[in-house]
């Protein structure tokens, strides 16, 4: 069995009976990416909402998705012990999300809103209420909250190595790095990215490539609309799930070459998790400071 350092044994408890860690991580990343593209469950930004988001993202892969953990956990790549033992997870998450619900984002500046998002990310991540998939669920919850308030968090603009370094520092009490990274990534919602035909077509191409869909498996009624992207992502999940099930049963006639991973493997090749030294973070923050000299629009971009 292939081994990965950033792997939790509970991931072996998956719907497909797969034990190869590389393939588990690949399928996990594929399903959660597609489900995020499909759209997130609505909710009141409470414990139930966070659980429903986690189940939506990881439920295709794991039977325990959507359940708060029953065991103690090391946060992230063993950054620290969770601040909440299993018996207190529900209460601690509720306490943090109640504070989020009491915020007045409409009266905040971009800088104030980004600082709040950084704060809630760290607080929820320090709890890490699920056995795995905490960062994805928390990011998605904050995405939904931001979108509801006309904002967005551009996670892709935060260099991965630096973000991990900033997160580790925040868990140790130094929040300056994570706040600066969020300040650079939070902006007004980019409506063009949601509705521009070119952006929509690019998302369709990305889904097709990730799943390995050929012309034969493409829906006949596809059109360049944001709603069709969501439907296509949902369809792609069904195709990928059936394909992985065939692979797990020993079939060689699959759409994807599951043994030649691409999504998670590519991410791992570009992300050196051990390279989270202060120098990596300083370099990223220096670039952020330079970019901040460029004025941001004070209104949603159309």
Q: Are residues 54 and 7 in the same domain?
A: no
**Is 194 within the bounds of a domain?**
no
What is the domain range of residue 166? Answer: 44-189+273-302
The partner residues of 81 in beta bridges, in order of sequence, read: 74
Region for residue 66 given its phi and psi (left: phi exceeds 0; alpha: psi -120 to 50; beta: otherwise): left
Question: Could you tell me if residue 116 is inside a domain?
Answer: yes
Asked if 112 and 126 sit in the same domain, the reply is yes
Examine the domain organization and report whether 52 and 119 are in the same domain: yes
Residue 129 domain flag: yes
Contact 152, 267 (CB under 8 A): no
CATH number at residue 90: 1.10.3290.10
Q: 76 and 69 in contact (C-beta within 8 Å)? A: no
* Residue 111 covered by a domain: yes
DSSP annotation of 6 reads: S
Q: Are residues 211 and 281 located together in one domain of the fold?
A: no
Task: Let me know if 269 is exposed, middle or buried by CB neighbors in 10 A (0-12, 13-18, 19+).
Answer: exposed
Same domain, 57 and 119: yes
Give pLDDT tens digits along the chain (302 positions).
343 446 889 999 999 999 999 899 989 999 999 999 999 999 999 999 999 999 999 999 999 999 999 999 988 776 677 889 999 999 999 999 999 999 999 989 999 999 999 999 999 999 999 999 999 999 999 999 999 999 999 998 888 889 999 999 999 999 999 999 999 999 998 876 666 667 777 778 888 887 877 776 666 666 667 888 898 899 999 999 999 999 999 998 998 888 876 554 545 544 444 444 566 667 766 666 666 656 555 544 44
Cβ atoms within 10 A of the Cβ of 36, count? Answer: 17
Report the relative pairing of strands 186-188 and 151-153 from DSSP bridges: antiparallel
Residues 100 and 239 occupy one common structural domain: no
Q: At what angle do helices 110-127 and 176-185 cross, to 10 degrees?
A: 120
Instruction: Give the chain's domain count.
Output: 2
| 95 close to 126: Cβ distance less than 8 angstroms | no
In a domain, 68, yes or no: yes
Per DSSP, which regions of 23-101 are E strands? Answer: 74-75, 80-81
- Do 97 and 152 fall into the same domain? yes
| Residue (of 133, 22, 126) closest to 68 by Cα position | 133
Contact of 54 with 137, CB cutoff 8 Å: yes
Residue 239 sits in the same domain as residue 111: no
Does residue 161 share a domain with residue 22? no
pLDDT at 195: 62
Query: Same domain for 301 and 152?
Result: yes
Q: Are residues 24 and 49 in the same domain?
A: no
Whether residue 242 sits in one domain with residue 115: no
Question: Does 195 reside within a domain?
Answer: no
Q: Is 6 domain-assigned?
A: yes
């Amino acid at each position: 069995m292939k081994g990965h350092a950033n792997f939790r044994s509970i991931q072996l408890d998956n719907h497909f009976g797969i034990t190869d860690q590389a393939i588990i991580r690949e399928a996990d990343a594929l399903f959660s990416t597609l489900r995020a593209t499909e759209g997130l469950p609505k909710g009141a930004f409470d414990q139930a909402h966070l659980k429903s988001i986690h189940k939506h993202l990881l439920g295709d892969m794991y039977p325990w998705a959507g359940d708060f953990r029953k065991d103690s956990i090391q946060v992230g790549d063993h950054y620290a012990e969770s601040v909440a033992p299993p018996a207190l997870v529900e209460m601690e998450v509720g306490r943090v999300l109640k504070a989020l619900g009491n915020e007045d984002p409409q009266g905040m500046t971009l800088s104030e809103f980004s600082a709040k998002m950084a704060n809630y990310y760290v607080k929820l991540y320090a709890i890490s209420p699920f056995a795995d998939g905490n960062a994805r669920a928390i990011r998605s919850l904050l995405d939904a909250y931001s979108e509801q308030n006309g904002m967005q968090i551009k996670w892709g603009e935060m260099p991965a190595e630096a973000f991990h370094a900033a997160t580790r520092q925040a868990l140790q009490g130094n929040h300056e790095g994570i706040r600066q990274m969020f300040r650079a990534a939070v902006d007004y919602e980019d409506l063009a990215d949601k509705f521009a035909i070119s952006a929509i077509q690019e998302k369709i191409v990305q889904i097709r490539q990730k799943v390995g869909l050929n012309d034969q498996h493409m829906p006949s009624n596809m059109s360049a609309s944001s709603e069709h992207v969501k439907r296509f992502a949902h369809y792609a999940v069904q195709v990928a799930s059936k394909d992985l099930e065939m692979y797990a049963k020993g079939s060689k006639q699959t759409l994807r070459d599951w043994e030649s991973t691409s999504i998670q493997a590519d991410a791992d090749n570009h992300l050196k998790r051990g390279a989270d030294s202060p120098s990596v973070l300083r370099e990223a923050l220096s670039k952020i400071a330079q970019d901040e000299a460029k004025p941001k629009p004070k209104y949603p971009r159309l």
